Structure 1
Amino acid sequence: MNDIAGLPARNAALKMLDAVLRRGDTLDTAAGAAKGLGPSDAALARAIASEVLRWQVDLDRLIDSATRQRLPDDAKVRTVLRMMLAQALKLETAPHAVIATGLPLLSGGPRRLAHGVFSTLDKKGARLPDAPTIPEDVAARWRTQYGERFPEIAAGLASPPPLDITLRDAGETDAWAERLVARVMAPGQLRLSRGQAVDALPGFDEGAWWVQDLAASIPASLLGKSAGTALDLCAAPGGKTLQLAAAGWEVTALDIAKRRLKRLHQNLQRTGLAAEVVEVDALKWEPEQGFDAILLDAPCSATGTCRRHPDVLHRVSRGQIEDLSKLQAALIERASAWLNPGGLLVYAVCSMEREEGEAQMGRVSLTPAPITQDELPAGLAPTAEGWLRTDPGMLADAGGLDGFFVARFRKD
């Protein structure tokens, strides 16, 4: 069966979707299903799975409009139809290629059913809405939390994000922007069109930059240039560690995830930057001395990364958010105790959930050090409290932004 051109990529995408929707795996973890495929087939498999997850509610509505009896949510034929429609409607795959690589994933009656449903929708000229419909449990939370901004947030999820990079030397921003044909988002922050092979771009091999969403680059920037020792708590995969090291801090990078720390080691080697890397549980670790700055990019639901990781919309539950909120509170307490007098703590989460962001602020025993307008990229502004809240609907004309909450404190 895999002799059919393009079929191995579709088979891998089907396995990815099963891992995410049935087992609750992250899409990054599920991407292991593409192991052994060539780079282009692996990228196609990931793209198919991502677009299914991004548009799943709307794809299901189309499928249901063309069936007499509703297919079970976990039926293989429904997943295959989602894949077929996502390819035709979002990836611009020709209908004959969709059918040729979709139907072999099924057998018997489901194959005929899938052919009939897809052909019916294709002949009708079926279309997806301009913005994806967010799953109802997530939408209910976000409507309550964001009110009038909710439609803009949904619109921000319509397309995969562009490629953002952080430069090792912000003084070379204009030069690298010209060389990479990139848009300057802030000093040291560039935005490129998506779909490029990262390791083939100029500057990658010599470590002149690393991939990092614009929003993700803000927390470390709020600690400024070096004033001594810095702790990057929950550091992997390391973008913020690299920022701190490039700014001259003497960095200790701590994380419990061995696999993700491997990427941090690789990035340090590639960029020529230095940091002491510690593999340990932050809830059990005790430093020998305090730090002048601490960046706590806390473990969170990561719902703010839904532009590039649409799987979070389908697998993160309210119970998980509550559990993570407790972990964040414990980490805030420990980090606050490790800060030297006069030192700064930046707390950040790549989450859209207020329980993980704004609601945590009452647990911080330190003095607020409000974020100011001139510290942020153009188009962003701090809240009245001096915090920063970003969402996927912001900077829409420039390609959008991940959702983050960031706050800064000082120890008296």
Structure 2
Amino acid sequence: MKRNEGKRPVEIQGLEARRAALRLLDAVLRRGETLDQAAGAATGGLLTSSDSALARAIASEVLRWLPDLDALIDSATRLRLADDAKARTVLRMMLAQWLRLDTPPHAVVATGLALLTGGPRRLAHGVFGALVRGEAALPSIPTLPESVAERWGDRATAIAAGLAAPPPLDLELQDPAGTGAWVERLGGESLALGHVRLPRGTAVTDISGFAEGGWWVQDFAASLPARLLGPGEGRRVLDLCAAPGGKTLQLAAAGWQVTALDVSKRRLERLRENLSRTGLDAEVIVADALTWQPEAPFDAILLDAPCTATGTARRHPDVLHRIGERQIAEMAELQAKLLERASGWLKPGGRLIYATCSLEREEGEERLPVEGVELDPIRGEELPGGLVPSPEGWLRTDPGMLLDKGGLDGFFIARLINKG
């Protein structure tokens, strides 16, 4: 803070957003929380929407480029700062604002140094000044944490290229036949029938067609599992672990009679709101899939299982730093239990889509085979251009794919059939 004629402290403009960003990073890196989980406490519910968005953007860019930011800091310090030192975290934020958010250095200094006192403040000022004078730069592709790069193997570098920037905005259309008209109306582009991609940055509620329910927000990769079930023609489908509901909307729009089940009442409220906005219909059930039992088998089941969500690192870069072997093993165990239950709820000839937004083999390939059902191979002609199924017949996407068109999230998708 600075003094106003020696009378009362005057808050530096933008300082509260930086304080919130600092709290977000502490929650992720020290306590292992997600950015979404930490947002409420970090902002205190008192920030303006623009300041909340800025805090989230600063924290996200730090997490996206953390190893590279640390390398710059270490290049300008004689003694290495501890990983959890406040001065290091503030320097990460200062560099992310300058190098990624195009904040002028003088504004970075004014809001960054105010978070520190004494020696750490002088140190941060000196390090940042030296890096600015030396015209420091980040690489074109983020460096992944070592443990993450090891898990992702020979695809790690390509995936990292897809994490360099937040993703565009994908819309899934209620009526795929109107794709061309919606592309023209919204000024976007389409990767497949029923899809429109827009540049990021526009408030969703301000986009034409929101109020009339012509579309909903859904990453393009996340739309693929439901697409692989085809038209419903009045048949019954269970959307298992359905919240927040994009796949339920897809299935209902495709003519399926949908039962949407999820354990979270709060998250299902968003699904109910979108059903109301779009005029689509589904039976919504709050229940735990591990104890719930259907009254009759289904023609199809879509299990988008709870997972580590490492495939969403483009928009949730916290997963790069808080997901490890323990979390992966816990999710894989839960997925195995859900698959076992779901496979017993199919009619003869019924199909089960198993999907996770994870890049970990333990949550994808290693969950197969499943007792009681057989693999129903995905065919290349069923997929949008640029995507190819594996030789085994499943599909894996990752952020390094379709980069010339804006990229996509990482998913594993397998289609299974009960041959009865």
Query: Shorter-chain TM-score: what band?
Result: over 0.9
Q: Tell me the distance in 2 between the aligned counterparts of 1:288 and 1:257.
A: 21
For residue 385 of structure 1, what is the aligned residue in structure 2? 392
Question: 2:7: which partner in 1?
Answer: none
Deviations 1:107-144 (A, max 9, x none): 1211111111110111000000010000011111112x
State the shift of 1:220 in Å.
Answer: 0.6
Cα distance in 2 between the residues matched to 1:290 and 1:274: 20
Query: How far apart in 1 are the matches of 2:238 and 2:352?
Result: 10
Tell me the alpha carbon deviations over residues 75-98 of structure 1, each in whole angstroms, 9 at most, x when there is no partner: 111111100000000111000000
User: 2:98 aligned with 1:91, yes or no?
Assistant: no
1:39 counterpart residue number: 49
Please tell me the residue identity of whatever aligns with 1:150. Answer: A
Match among 245, 248, 251 for residue 252 of structure 2: 245
* CA drift at 1:393: 0.5
The code of the aligned residue for 1:404 comes to F
* C-alpha separation in 1, matches of 2:149 and 2:210: 39
Instruction: Write the letter of the residue equivalent to 2:46.
Output: G
Aligned to 2:5: none
Question: What secondary structure is seen at the aligned counterpart in 1 of 2:61?
Answer: helix
Post-superposition shift, 1:207? 1.1
Partners of 2:370 and 2:326 in 1: CA distance? 20
Aligned length: 408
1:6 matches 2:14: yes
Find the counterpart in structure 2 of residue 339 from structure 1. 346
Please name the residue that 1:281 is paired with. Answer: 288
Deviation at 1:167, TM superposition (A): 0.5
Q: Does 1:121 align with 2:131?
A: yes
**1:165 maps to which residue?**
171
Alpha-carbon distance, 1:364 to partner: 4.3
1:236 corresponds to = 243
Give the one of 146, 149, 156 matched to 1:150.
Answer: 156
Counterpart-to-counterpart distance in 2, 1:313 and 1:374: 33
For residues 209-266 of structure 1, give each alpha carbon's deviation from its aligned partner in whole angstroms, at most 9, with x where no partner exists.
Answer: 1111110000011111114111000111110011011111111111112222121111
| Partner residue of 2:203 out of 197, 200, 203 | 197
Q: CA deviation at 1:406?
A: 0.2
1:65 maps onto 2:71 in alignment: no
Tell me the equivalent position of 1:360.
Answer: 367
**Distance (Å, rounded) in 2 between the aligned partners of 1:108 and 1:262:** 48
Q: Secondary structure at the match of 2:416?
A: strand
DSSP-derived class of the 2:247 partner: helix
SS at match of 2:30: helix
Structure 1: runs of 5 or more not aligned: none
AA paired with 2:90?
Answer: V
Question: Is the counterpart of residue 55 in structure 1 residue 65 in structure 2?
Answer: yes
Q: Secondary structure at the match of 2:182?
A: helix
Q: What CA distance in whole angstroms lies between the structure 2 residues aligned with 1:241 and 1:36?
A: 34
The alpha-carbon deviation at position 385 of structure 1 amounts to: 1.1
The alignment status of 1:323 with 2:330, answered yes or no, reads yes
Q: Which moved more, 1:260-269 or 1:118-127?
A: 260-269
Aligned counterpart in structure 2 of residue 373 of structure 1, from 360, 380, 386: 380
Measure, in 2, the Cα distance between the counterparts of 1:175 and 1:382.
Answer: 30
Equivalent in 396, 402, 405 of residue 395 of structure 1: 402
What do the CA deviations read for 1:143-168 (whole angstroms, capped 9, x no partner)?
A: 2xxx2x33211111111111111011
Q: What is the TM-score with the length of structure 2 in the denominator?
A: 0.95
Q: Deviations over 1:300-359 (max 9, x none)?
A: 110010111100010011011011111101100100001111111000000000110011
SS at match of 2:353: strand
The one of 165, 174, 177 equivalent to 2:180 is 174
- Residue 255 (structure 1) aligns with: 262
Please give the secondary structure, in 1, of the residue aligned with 2:354.
Answer: strand
Aligned to 1:15: 23
Q: Which amino acid aligns with 2:38?
A: A
Amino acid at match of 1:183: E
1:307 matched to 2:314? The reply is yes
Aligned to 2:222: 216
- Cα RMSD between the aligned structures? 1.1
* Conserved? CA contact 2:64–2:164, under 8 Å: yes
Q: 1:80 aligns to what SS in structure 2?
A: helix
Residue aligned with 2:343, SS = helix
SS at match of 1:183: coil
The answer to whether the Cα contact below 8 Å between 2:169 and 2:197 also exists between their aligned partners in 1 is yes
Unaligned runs of 5+ in 2: 2-9
Q: Percent identity?
A: 66
Query: Which residue pairs with 1:26 in the alignment?
Result: 34
CA distance in 1, matches of 2:39, 2:173: 28
SS at match of 2:238: strand
Please name the residue that 2:118 is paired with. Answer: 108
